[in-house]
Amino acid sequence: MKILVPVKRVVDYNVKVRVKSDGSGVDIANVKMSMNPFDEIAIEEAVRLKEKGVATEVIAVSCGVLQCQETLRTAMAIGADRAILVETAEELQPLAVAKLLKALVEKEQPQLVILGKQAIDDDCNQTGQMLAALLGWGQATFASKVEVAGSQVSVTREVDGGAETLSLSLPAVITTDLRLNEPRYVTLPNIMKAKKKPLENLKPEELGVDVKPRIKTLKVSEPPKRSAGVKVADVATLVDKLRNEAKVI
């Protein structure tokens, strides 16, 4: 079984994000970039399935600028067998990424696509669902446990009331949640091995996909700073403030 794992290059989660002075977006100049944490979990799960003998090949995919090759090398250091970069300087929105992934799925013919439930930069949580819809495949989102048996995959997912278990027929699309696994530490020998693994470079035009943005970002701004708390003398004053000032009761 072949598994396709899309990974995204994002601002590292430890970095304090700065908004550009003109409000046009986030400043990424001289900022540390890394793999989206949810995608790292997806790669780890795919590699674990390969180690169990369920999968025969894990392919990492990224869409974006040339520097995304670094993210793909990290994926291969975790255990992916090879990688594909769809290189473009365009601002990629979820629908465009889903269309690119659909074209790659048709090219590579994987039985399973595992990707992070969302990226920590735009928080859209749309690409996996859009890809499943475009392919006409079954999907399971927010996976906290994945088990493959033959042509079926059982996915435990988190819902408001607790946990829900779904059974899907392959091929399928799965999006990962934080509790699915803890990604392994990438060792230096594996980083060196990753440099020798094949990395294919494609353009959106080669896949016949138009990636022009459909949505225009009007303005990006930082959230307002939280105001200081207020001490009250007694419960009656607290209730009065909640009712008349905050208007929450």
Range 60-79 average pLDDT? 94
Least confident of 106-120, 125-139, 224-238: 224-238
Secondary structure class of 189 (helix, strand, coil): helix
Structural domain contains residue 249 = no
Structural domain contains residue 235 = yes
Q: Count CB neighbours of 28 within 10 A.
A: 16
Contact of 111 with 170, CB cutoff 8 Å: yes
Query: Is the confidence at residue 7, as pLDDT, over 90?
Result: yes
- Angstrom distance (rounded) from CA 161 to CA 203: 43
Query: Is the confidence at residue 18, as pLDDT, over 90?
Result: no
Question: What's the mean per-residue pLDDT of the chain?
Answer: 92
Domain span holding position 235 = 2-244
> What CATH number does the domain containing 162 carry?
3.40.50.620
Structural domain contains residue 213 = yes
Phi, psi of 204, rounded to the nearest 5 degrees: -55, -35
Least confident of 17-21, 104-108, 231-235, 236-240: 17-21
Long-range contacts of 24-27 (CB under 8 A, 24+ apart): 24/217, 24/219, 24/220, 25/217, 25/220, 26/121, 26/220
Query: Is the confidence at residue 225, as pLDDT, over 90?
Result: no
DSSP bridge pairs for 145: 156
Contact of 115 with 175, CB cutoff 8 Å: yes
pLDDT bin (cut points 50, 70, 90) of residue 221 is confident
Structural domain contains residue 78 = yes
How many domains would you assign to the chain?
A: 1
Q: What tokens were used for 84? A: 């594909």
Structural domain contains residue 191 = yes
DSSP bridge pairs for 176: 116, 143
